[in-house]
Amino acid sequence: MKRNGMANWTVLLVAISCLAAHAADGKVEDNDTPALRIAASPEFLPVNLFGMPVGSVGSLRIELPKGTSGYKEAVLLLRVDDVDASNEARMYLNNSGPLKWPDSLLGEGEHGGVVTLPIKHLRPGRNLMRFVFKDNLNGTTEGFRVLEAELLLFRDRSPARTARMTREGASWGRPVDWRQQAARGDARSVSPSRGNESPTISDFFQEAFLTRWKTFGGTWKKLADEIHVYDIDERDIYLSPEEPGWLEWVGLWKEKDDAIRACFAQITGNPGLDPSYRPWYGRGSREAWLTFAKDYKMQVGPEDAVSTTRLDYVALRSRDQGDMWENLEPNQEPSGANLRFVYADDGSLVNHGVANVRCRDGRIVSSLWPQEWKKGCLVGVRESTDGGKTWSSDQLIAPPGSDEEILKVATEENAMVELGDGRLLVLIRCDPGNPCQTYLTRTGPGKYTATLPSRTPMPHSGMPELARCRDGVIWYWGIDGIWYTADDGQTWQLAPVKFPSYYGKMIDAGANRILCVTQTLTGDSPYPFRHDATVRQFRFSYQRSGIVEQTDAQTSLQVATRKEADFADLHLRADVRVDGAIGLAFRVQPDGQSYYIFAVVLPGAEAFNLYLPPDLQRDQLSANYPHEAPFMTAPGNPMCLLGRVDNGKVTVLRGMRLAYLPRGSWLRMQVKVTGDLIQGAVNSAPNPTYIGVRDAKYPSGGVGLFTHASTGAFQDFRVWSRPQMIRDLWR
């Protein structure tokens, strides 16, 4: 590549503006016949791109029209001239990390290729695709050009389509109808599913266990439900146009049509100011702000802190539970920050007090701000039965017999949810100490009684945040993480996910789906701040998951199988609590006496010497490298094994040593069966252990759970009707 001085970019882009008419129903219409024709289809949407040279940094600006929510995949078709190697330049989309150069784009002369873009970093309006040279390159860039570029957005993710686009992208630059089927004999994607397929059976043991299962030996019972969290999504959904960004105090609520609205404060304009404690709540009245700063021993910023900066209330809207966000016009009503809205029966939006809850009978209950009540009460409430037009008198509640220490430290910051029996659960911030909770019961118009307050196990935090889902699970979000209760607050459990939060907001985003939004890297911080703040989204799905336990430690072989299940090829996954010999059974014959097993066996268990006598262990260990012998023969190490049970007699087909496991540990186990090939894997430290064998005595059968002369427990049992990739299913 020839180089001489600053980069001189020539960006020739396809004229596709006449294709970009976006119909109201989300389809793309052809209003003209462009030079490069792309077939109209609701599946993808072309958008306008045009080049913008910036010194030694070349870029493409992508103007994304409104109404593009719901797209799951974004690909950029590029044709470039003379990109020799991937390390010569880096590609960046907005503020994402560097993107990978496809091999088909590299080399002397013109090349075409497809770049998969992170859909989460695309946003409505302007997006910038940058090509940045390494600083140590000298010479000219006369030969380096982006000849053509086009962005396609897809409504779903199709591995087969992605593979085809990768192949055809190398010759991109001619009209292509991406919906057209590949030519007969063309190489197609035939790789097995990589964990994207839905299970045939997902048994979370929520209902009566034995209604769907048949047992052969043992004593089986279902324990209490736990919460299983999966499908975790964490990403920034908004960055300030100025850096470092100052973004604080997120509000989150559902609109009348179930779209989700987020709103927050943004200050821009003068990042060279001395730090000024004049955030959004201190700009309206200088006198009030001086008093506030004095009370909290804050520095008062310079006099031009307000006049040289701008305050906006940024509003975002998502119509797909947070997949994509639309950036609304600044200050679009309703504006504000740290808001909690509810909707009345007539569709009016109500924001009143600290926390609001709309009850099933239509009334709205609001808790009161600090200036509206006095110390010594637990909580102050009022209600409206006409959609917020009028309110009952304030009621200051301090249940007789309350712990005086709790009343002394209770603050006005709280959250409320309505329970299934009509009571209100109220969680209240305490300074200092753990939050407390109480239950409100309505005794008449605007009148409530409260139970004695009690401390919760959650650590001290800022304003509590609660969300109750349709299945009755209540979620709490504080600075330290997320907690849940499945029994209306009688007990609280720390969820197996931890998202940082500062006055974050949480909402039920669909069946068993939670959406959380918060500011990051700022608390009550001055403008400008030392960190670059963002607004970040956390989403996760959850499932109530029971535990099935086998409690008979005497019977030699204990099996429980799904009654209706019969599989040849299959994939099994379950979490197991090890205790002796425990695992998964498959291709179980109708009498329950013959089947295959994949099991973990602990030293000291009856099955250990029965299944793995010393001579068998020597045979297995002879295949390992000599330097592994100390580990493989270490006393106290468990084994995983694949075996076959023939009329109650166990034959071990293959075994493998595992690292030390304490009794009672939870493991994830998987079995993958294709014809006569049987593979098992255990997700144990330090890395998953795989084991495989070939055997075809039993070509099909049922699936289930297995223990041998030991107790054990199982959770989250899933079955696929064809093999998956084990490595993709550990999470």
CATH of the domain at 675: 2.60.120.560
Question: Would you say residue 416 has pLDDT above 90?
Answer: yes
Neighbouring residues of 576: CB distance < 8 A, sequence distance ≥ 6: 582, 583, 584, 600, 666, 667, 668, 669, 712, 713, 714, 715
User: What per-residue string of b and e applies to 337-346 under the rule 16 or more CB within 10 Å gives b?
Assistant: bbbbbbbbee
- 26 within some domain: yes
Identify the top-confidence range among 62-71, 481-490, 697-706: 697-706
> For residues 350 and 339, what is the distance between their CA atoms, to the nearest angstrom?
10
3-state secondary structure of 174: coil
Predicted confidence band at 1 (pLDDT cuts at 50, 70, 90)? Answer: very low
Please check the confidence at residue 360 and state whether its pLDDT lies above 70: yes
Q: Tell me if 394 is assigned to some domain.
A: yes
Round to whole Å and give the CA distance between 621 and 619.
6
Domain CATH code at residue 450 = 2.40.128
Answer yes or no: is pLDDT of 496 > 60: yes
Residue 443 maps to a domain? yes
pLDDT in tens, 268-300: 999 999 988 887 777 777 888 888 888 888 888
Q: Are residues 533 and 558 in the same domain?
A: no
Beta bridge partners of 514: 508, 540
Q: Which residue has the higher pLDDT, 249 or 123?
A: 249
- Distances, alpha carbon 281 to alpha carbons 100, 412, 505, in Å: 44, 18, 19
Radius of gyration of the chain (CA): 31
d(CA 663, CA 608): 14
Domain check: are 371 and 460 in the same one? yes
Asked if residue 190 is part of any domain, the answer here is: no
Residues 332 and 344 in one domain: no
Q: Rounded distance, CA 466 to CA 415, Å?
A: 6
What Cα–Cα distance (Å) separates residue 557 from each residue in 19, 554, 566, 639, 728? 67, 9, 21, 18, 31
In this prediction, residue 672 has a pLDDT band, given cuts at 50, 70 and 90, of very high
Q: 102 and 94 in contact (C-beta within 8 Å)?
A: no
B/e letters for 547-565, b = 16+ CB within 10 Å, e = fewer, are bbbbeebeeebbbbbbeeb
Burial class (CB in 10 A: 0-12, 13-18, 19+), 697: exposed
Q: Specify the residue for token string 């390159």.
A: 137
Which range is least confidently modeled, 49-63, 285-299, 432-446? Answer: 49-63
Percent of the chain with pLDDT over 70: 77
Report yes or no on 518 lying in a domain.
Answer: yes
Strand 247-254 vs strand 410-418: parallel, antiparallel, or unpaired?
A: unpaired
Say what percent of the chain tops pLDDT 90.
Answer: 43
The CA distance from 677 to 572, in Å, is: 14
Q: Which amino acid is at 292?
A: F
Q: Is 254 exposed, middle or buried (0-12, 13-18, 19+ CB in 10 A)?
A: middle
Sheet holding 247-254, edge to edge: 247-254, 260-268, 310-318, 326-327
Bigger pLDDT: 250 or 345?
Answer: 250
Which CATH number is 100's domain given?
2.60.120.1200
What local confidence, expressed as pLDDT, does residue 41 receive? 30
Tokens 């196990």 sit at which residue? 457
Question: In terms of domains, do 599 and 714 share one?
Answer: yes
Which is nearest to 467 in space by CA: 443, 495, 444? 495
DSSP-derived 3-state class of residue 169: helix
Q: First CA to last CA across the chain, in angstroms?
A: 45
Token pair for residue 496? Answer: 């197996």
Could you tell me if 143 and 249 lie in one domain?
no
Are residue 453 and residue 368 in the same domain, yes or no?
yes
Per the prediction, the chain carries an average pLDDT of: 79
Total structural domains within the chain: 4
- Write down how long the chain is: 731
SS3 call for 47: strand
Shared domain for 577 and 715, answered yes or no, is: yes
Domain end, chosen from 465, 486, 508, is at 465
Q: Residue 32 — φ and ψ, nearest 5°?
A: -160, 180
Look-up: residue for tokens 């994509």? Answer: 324
Are 327 and 349 in a shared domain? no
Nearest to 226 by CA among 539, 487, 489, 560: 487
Whether residue 604 is found in the same domain as residue 647: yes
In a domain, 487, yes or no: no
Residue 472 placed within a domain: no
**Residue 704: both structure tokens together:** 């289930």
* Amino acid code (one letter) for 722: R
Peptide bond into 686 cis (omega under 30): yes
Tell me the two tokens of residue 194: 């990589």
**pLDDT over 60 (residue 47):** no
Q: Write the secondary structure of 639-694 as one string of H (helix), E (strand) and C (coil).
A: EEEEEEEECCEEEEEEEEECCCCCCCCEEEEEEEEECCEEEEEECCCCCCEEEEEE
Same-domain check for residues 572 and 650: yes
- Detail the DSSP E strand segments found in 546-627: 548-550, 558-562, 570-577, 581-588, 595-601
Q: How many CA atoms lie within 13 A of 450 on its CB side?
A: 25
Q: What CA–CA distance (Å, rounded) separates 588 from 703?
A: 6
Model pTM score: 0.61
Residues 598-652 pLDDT 10s: 999 988 777 777 776 665 555 555 455 555 555 555 556 788 999 999 999 999 8
Please tell me the distance from the alpha carbon of residue 197 to that of residue 220, in angstroms, as a whole number.
Answer: 30
For residue 201, pLDDT beyond 90: yes
CB 550 within 8 A of CB 712: yes
Strands (E) located in 497-547: 505-508, 513-520, 534-545
When comparing pLDDT for 557 and 104, which is higher? 557
- pLDDT at 231 (0 to 100): 82
Q: Are 252 and 517 in contact (CB under 8 A)?
A: yes
Comparing 140-154, 240-254, 351-365, which segment has the lowest mean pLDDT? 140-154
Alpha-carbon torsion, ordered 604, 605, 611, 616, to 10 deg: -10
In whole angstroms, what is the distance from residue 705 CA to residue 560 CA?
5
Say which range, 376-390, 596-610, 689-703, has the weakest mean pLDDT. 596-610
403 with 429: CB under 8 angstroms?
A: no
- The two three-digit tokens of residue 673, written as one number: 């069966």
Last residue of a domain, one of 126, 153, 169: 169
For 416-467, the DSSP string reads EEE-TTS-EEEEEEESSSS-EEEEEEEEETTEEEEPPPEE-SSPP-SS-EEE
Backbone angles phi, psi at 619, to 5 degrees: -65, -40
Residues 594 and 504 in one domain: no
Grouping H, G, I as helix, E, B as strand and the rest as coil, residue 560 is: strand
Are residues 308 and 266 part of one domain?
yes
pLDDT of 168: 55
Residue 606: per-residue pLDDT? 75
Domain-terminating residue out of 465, 488, 522 = 465
> Closest Cα partner for 639 from 596, 608, 664, 678?
608
The stretch 124-141 carries a mean pLDDT of: 57
Q: Which two three-digit tokens encode residue 664? A: 């009672």
638 lies in some domain: yes
Residue 235 reports pLDDT greater than 50: yes
Task: Give the domain range for residue 320.
Answer: 233-337+500-543
